[in-house]
Structure 1
Amino acid sequence: MSRRDQLKLGFILHGVGPGWSDWRHPDAQIDASTSWSFYKHQAQVAEAGKFDFLFVADSLFITAGSSPHYLNRFEPLTILSAIAGATSRIGLVATVTATYTEPFNLARQLSSLDHISGGRAGWNVVTSWLDGTAANFSKAKHLEHDVRYRLAGEHLDVVQGLWDSWEDDALVADKETGRFVDPDKLHALNHKGEFFQVKGPLNIKRSPQGQPVIFQAGASEDGKTFASGRADAIFISFDEPEAGVAYRSELRARAAGQGRNPDEVLILPGIRPIVGETEADAEAKYQELAGLTSIENALSALGRPFNDHDFRVYDLDAPFPQEVAVHGTNSNQSAAERILKLARDENLTLRETALRLATPRSHFVGTPSQVADALQRWFEAGAADGYILFESLPGQLELFVQTVVPILQDRGVYRRDYEGATLREHLGLSFPENRYAARRHPLAAE
């Protein structure tokens, strides 16, 4: 069965949970975000469910009002390197900012993870949206939105160029002759651009998958241009399948317009399924999750895409303050615009908007069959190539693997076992040709 016939699944390692109140659940493990045993268990459950990859989000600036998981968590590359040794097949995707890292260091770190894991690494390229991040990196000012994306493009150029430093057969290691490397197949990058000057070559050979897989979450205009031109997989959020169909069609068309094969650009919406034994059980679990959220925490969550704006200064029961749009312009632009539109279109108050977003009720709440139905319906409608799952409540990952995955497998829309060893093979992505080898043998690259 081809990749296009089967949906893909990723799982986001979110410790105590993605929300501000998830940690309050009676069964929540309070130290989950810094617990090796917790992450190892989740990784192994996801691998037993034949998930394509694990995904670790990240941010580099906090305040006392940040969500509990953001306040206290592992650095992505460190925890994924540990998980690499506790798993054998599942992919490992790290979120790392281009705005506040040096390309050479990052190229080396990700390539190391790729080798450690046997070709299972991925990089979620972000630009960081919170102004306060600059002060943690000796910077006077956070770069503007469009400049951050321009820098990210050059940063990725450098990183991928460094990953090509070694041709695939550059390592000779001939003990008889004493020849360790073929110097003609080891290349300096000699990059000189607007933001970076990097000579190279990288001091580690290419991995079994050639290069780590590139993820991106592109929803703003700049983000969609970047994602469609550079990403292998796009992490996105939408509430209705019609929005997914429109977004996926647009991104595939943009990719084709940039000379890419649109089948090599995967659209993976983030979802938070809730699985119950019956409809009533699933609804009770949703209400249990919603009941954990206070209006104070909902307002904190609402402020995040608006550069941690303080919404407590407004009348909760007045119309949503559209003037806050200015705070989202240089932050999480797409999320801010989506919130503003929702509040405007439905004439919501601030209280209604905050609670709606803090406790969203998705299509993926129900019995195992109902959740599988929704996943399959979105996939077959062209709204998604797969999904990145958040754990809604403690134990939901295990329940999903035990009850939903077998249904999807029986229907033939999800794998029964891994067929390859690398993340690229899991996702059905082609092996990237080394740019220097392609120049050496141009006909072979055609």
Structure 2
Amino acid sequence: MPPLTRPLRFAVDLGGTALYLAATFVDRARLAERGAFDFVTLDDSLGQPAPGVGRLDALAVLARVAPATDRIGLLPTVTTTHTEPFHLSTAIATLDWVSRGRAGWIADVSTTEADARLIGRPPAAPLAELWREAGEVVDVVTRLFDSWEDDAEIRDVATGRFVDRDKLHYVDFEGAAFSVRGPSIVPRPPQGHPATAVDATAPAAREAAARSADVALVRTDDPDTARTVRAELRERARAHGREPDRLIVLASLTVDLDASADAVALAELAAGWHTDGAADGFHFRLTDPDRDLRLLVDGTVPVLQHRGLVRHFYPGATLREHLGLPRPANRYALAREATAR
């Protein structure tokens, strides 16, 4: 079997509109974990997905899934529009702690007047402006993650000191739409920065993805479109001084399987797109989550494992390790150390 020099990445959305049973989400996440998927996602929005349709809070659901799983990454969608960045960072950092380093998040925007009215905010801004704000939110969230140095907690019983104040930092962020002083109320997450994902299907979202995201999702069933967008995102990332390989681009596909489906055909498609450089992997959105996920795990994944394209087990304990991404250094610790020299 050839070595996994560039593994094919798999992720799946857990679905769940009008679904209120925690056990169902847990079962789906465990099944995806058995297939060694990199992470699961759970979509969300600020308002109702449709008139008269309810939904659960994605971040809270995945906090319930966290202790019932061991390795798989957990990425809820979080709307940056109308959401306070301080509270957002606290919630994501908490998910990283309760999952022991497996948290991430999908940054999204809210574009409708109805969503703005829900919380009494001004009318919705243009899409480009919303994504510029989302980019600022991602920036300040990572600053808040860093506002505690890794060894800020000292817990010295003899002196009664819990934290080293010199290792807590004000972020003093001034954005176009908000300002945040900090520091956070949650210690630095186990991963340093939980992984950030952006749905980069819309051109307006691509700058935010290229500048700050670890994972970009592109909704398309056309390999040429996927390849073009991937190349654009990687070039934009390079322009921001990033290593393009550090931005993982996944094609987000709608999958509709049944018991008679040829699971080998989907494996061929995935292998072909990956080999041709159209995508680094796939994010599956399942028509029937319970049926289709089982067919993926028991049918498609073994075929790709046999070909050496998909791993049999997780390489580490954290989501960043699964994705081959380093743990970021703390920006404030680096600055303090540089000043001390």
Paired position in structure 2 for 1:144? 126
Amino acid in structure 1 at the alignment position of 2:298: Q
Please state if 1:433 is matched with 2:322: no
Paired position in structure 1 for 2:10? 9
Paired position in structure 1 for 2:162? 180
Shift of 1:15: 1.9
Amino acid in structure 2 at the alignment position of 1:418: Y
Pick from 174, 195, 210 the counterpart of residue 192 of structure 1.
174
Give TM-score scaled by structure 2 length: 0.93
Please state if 1:113 is matched with 2:95: yes
Amino acid in structure 2 at the alignment position of 1:371: L
Q: How many residues in Structure 1 have an aligned counterpart in Structure 2?
A: 337
CA–CA distance in structure 2, aligned partners of residues 105 and 430 of structure 1: 25
SS at match of 2:286: coil
Please state if 1:381 is matched with 2:266: no
SS at match of 2:105: strand
Amino acid in structure 1 at the alignment position of 2:123: K
Q: Deviations over 1:16-38 (max 9, x none)?
A: 5xxxxxxxxxxxxxx6x212121
Amino acid in structure 1 at the alignment position of 2:274: F
Note the 1:130-141 alignment, pairs <5 A. Answer: 130-141=112-123
CA–CA distance in structure 1, aligned partners of residues 39 and 237 of structure 2: 23
Amino acid in structure 2 at the alignment position of 1:9: F
Q: Report which stretch shifted further, 174-183 or 246-255.
A: 174-183
Note the 1:29-48 alignment, pairs <5 A. Answer: 33-48=19-34
Amino acid in structure 1 at the alignment position of 2:238: A
Shift of 1:426: 0.7
Q: Report which stretch shifted further, 94-103 or 265-274.
A: 265-274
Q: Percent identity?
A: 38
Structure number with higher strand proportion:
2
Is 1:276–1:368's contact at 8 Å kept on the other side of the alignment?
no
Give ranges in structure 2 of 5+ residues lacking alignment: none
Please state if 1:417 is matched with 2:287: no
In structure 2, relative to structure 1, the CA distance for the partners of 1:73 and 1:395 (3 Å cut) is same
Give ranges in structure 1 of 5+ residues lacking alignment: 17-30, 283-366
Structure showing greater radius of gyration is 1
Paired position in structure 2 for 1:400? 296
Paired position in structure 2 for 1:80? 62
Structure number with higher helix proportion:
1
Is 2:82–2:121's contact at 8 Å kept on the other side of the alignment?
no
In structure 2, relative to structure 1, the CA distance for the partners of 1:150 and 1:275 (3 Å cut) is closer
Amino acid in structure 1 at the alignment position of 2:336: R
In structure 2, relative to structure 1, the CA distance for the partners of 1:207 and 1:398 (3 Å cut) is same
Note the 1:43-62 alignment, pairs <5 A. Answer: 43-62=29-48
Shift of 1:224: 1.2
In structure 2, relative to structure 1, the CA distance for the partners of 1:219 and 1:441 (3 Å cut) is same
Shift of 1:179: 2.6
Amino acid in structure 1 at the alignment position of 2:150: D
SS at match of 1:431: coil
Paired position in structure 2 for 1:371? 266
Q: Give the alignment's Cα RMSD to 1 decimal.
A: 1.9
Amino acid in structure 2 at the alignment position of 1:74: L
CA–CA distance in structure 1, aligned partners of residues 124 and 157 of structure 2: 51
Amino acid in structure 2 at the alignment position of 1:410: H
